[in-house]
Structures are given as C-alpha cells and as structure tokens.
Amino acid sequence: MVRHEKLGGAAGYLAVGLLGAQAFLLAGATADPALPSFAQALAHERWRFKAITLLRIAGALALVWFTTSLASRLRRAGRAHAAHAAVALGAGMLWAATWLTSALFNSLALTFAMAGQDAEAARFAGALATESIYVLTPGLTLLLLAATAVVALEDRTFPRLFAYGTLVATVLRLGLALWDWYGPGNLGVGLLDVALLWIGAAGTQLLRPREAAV
C-alpha cells in the first residue's frame, strides 16, 4: 500500500507535467473553435493537436493513479473519513474521465478537419474538447480539494503547512470558479493552475512516509 502511494505521488508530478505541457501547446495554437476558419487552421496545426490529444490521455491516466493513491492515503486516516476519501476518489476519477473525453473530442475534430468535408462538425467537436475541461474542472477539483482539506486538517500525520495550504487552495479555487461563472472574469486555462500546483504538493505528501509527516 505504501509503495502504491509513493508511486501515486510520482504519478501526480507526471500528471502536472503532462497537463501543463498540453496547456502550453494549446496556448500557442491559432485554431479556435469560435472562428469559422477553425477546421482549416486545425488541419494546418494537426501535429500540435495530435500532441495535445496524447498529452491529455497520458495525463488522465497519471491522474487515475494519483487519485487512487490519494484516496488510499485519506482512508488510512480512519473510518470516520471513509466518506471524504470516497468523495476525493470520485471527483479525481471524474476529472480524469473529463480529460479523456476531451481527448476524444479533440481526436474527432482532427478527423473531421483532415477529411475536409465537415467544417462545422470539426468546430463542434473542437468546442466540446475545450469547453468540457473549462466547465467540469472547477467543480470537480473543488470537491477534490475540499475532501482532502477536511481529512488533512484532522489527521495530524499531514503536515500543518499542507493541511492549511489545502484549505487556502480550496477557498481560492472557489473564488476563482465564482469569478469565472458569475463575474466578468474569463479565466480559461488559468483555472487549472491552482489545481495542478496543489496536485504537485499532494504528490510530495504521498512520497513521504506517513509517520514522518508530522
């Protein structure tokens, strides 16, 4: 179990690197589903978007391992926190599934664009590839953070810095989500930053022996 958790910590680092890399590639792309020229631009940048698709798939698989390891670590805090561990597990798995679904839509958009026959289908698939991440990430990562914060604050084997840092990240994540949903903000990919940074911090905790994390 301990070895699985340590490997899960490494998987967390890997997920951050892979998903961060796809965000970097996406930021430099010119293909935008909001534009009529999306299919043509996507076909021109096909290798960039193929790389983005592969990075999302690999990042999602790394997230699965990280999430199962984190849930295992939370369950070790005691039966009183079994429900919190289940919430963290469910949220993390759904978030990984969101990335896989996004990769699928990205692949479909590429297929339509390369066929050169259905530009509107390519735009629709491309929009789903992007918006599925933007729409589902805030709520799912908020659940993941909140469930972990509850356990970390009560289980003294988690360092206090990590426990309170997770609480702050939860509040910050909620504020950013509300700003994006109801305010004038359009945070886009930037909404991933807090969650990815926190996964790196949580991965560090999984790499540490439980009894040493005091």
The answer to whether residues 149 and 157 touch, using CB atoms and an 8 Å cutoff, is: no
pTM exceeds 0.85, yes or no? yes
Q: Convert the pLDDT of each residue in 125-183 to its tens digit.
A: 999 998 888 888 888 999 999 999 999 999 988 999 999 999 999 998 888 777 766 76
Q: Convert the pLDDT of each residue in 58-71 to its tens digit.
A: 999 999 999 999 99
Question: CA–CA separation, 110 vs 125, rounded Å?
Answer: 9
Q: Convert the pLDDT of each residue in 139-154 to its tens digit.
A: 899 999 999 999 999 9
The answer to whether residues 32 and 61 touch, using CB atoms and an 8 Å cutoff, is: no
Q: Report pLDDT for 211.
A: 60
The stretch 35-46 carries a mean pLDDT of: 91
